[in-house]
Structure 1
């Protein structure tokens, strides 16, 4: 407590009694100095802003505006080129499809013609072979038929000889074969 009284005494001794002086900017005795310093500060800030900061800001803004405008122009040009490239691509694609279809049709026609030619050659070859084979078969059949009479005569003679024990006369066998043929 003794210390609290000392601190209080020191404040009183230093400043004396507490006076109610109020808020310093509202004191009428200091208005003139405050207005002068306010004017000096305002002018200094105005000059600083108008000569240094605002030109830089307006240059930056103008630079951005120019950059944005050039970027938009470039984007429009690129869009136009892309659309032209798309049209050219579609045209080239349709031409390529048409060429591919023409080549495919040509290849089909060529293969079809080759196939038809080979088929006709094979049919002619097979027809010729068939005719030759039929001629060979007819010749062999006629040869075989010519031998049938001799075989039949021999067989009939052998059967009669076996059954009767004696061989028949060849004229009798030939006469019997002529009777069965008629």
Structure 2
């Protein structure tokens, strides 16, 4: 009830002031002429509109935007943590594979030494059999390591693209082209063949 009444009073006061001002306004830029009675009402209304918009935005839209940004940052951080965990698991699988290969090689050498003492012919056959087994175990371990590494590297471009998109959007205020982000990320990530 007060706001329409106040608006009506200010409008009437502006009209009265405009009607009372008979001299011609200054030549040049009238919006900067301090003797113009409309200038002061424009400043008052500008301040009122600014305060109203500020209050409305600070209580409704800005908290929602802040919540979305916080959720996005948390998701990016969890994706990066998942990628780090996958890399850590791949590194552990690689160490395990090397230890198993060394252990298997040591067992094979002991077995070969015992077998050579018993008979040369049976030692050669046993050695061929053990080498084939070691190669199969090594191939299987390398396949597991490659699968773990590929899984870790497969999640890395997606995380890098979403992180770069979020950073560019936050810095520039507008969404970047997905193709440009993807090409920039793929240019800076190591290739799968490496």
TM normalised by structure 2 equals 0.40
What is the TM-score with the length of structure 1 in the denominator?
0.42
Larger proportion of helix: 1
Select the structure of larger CA radius of gyration. 1
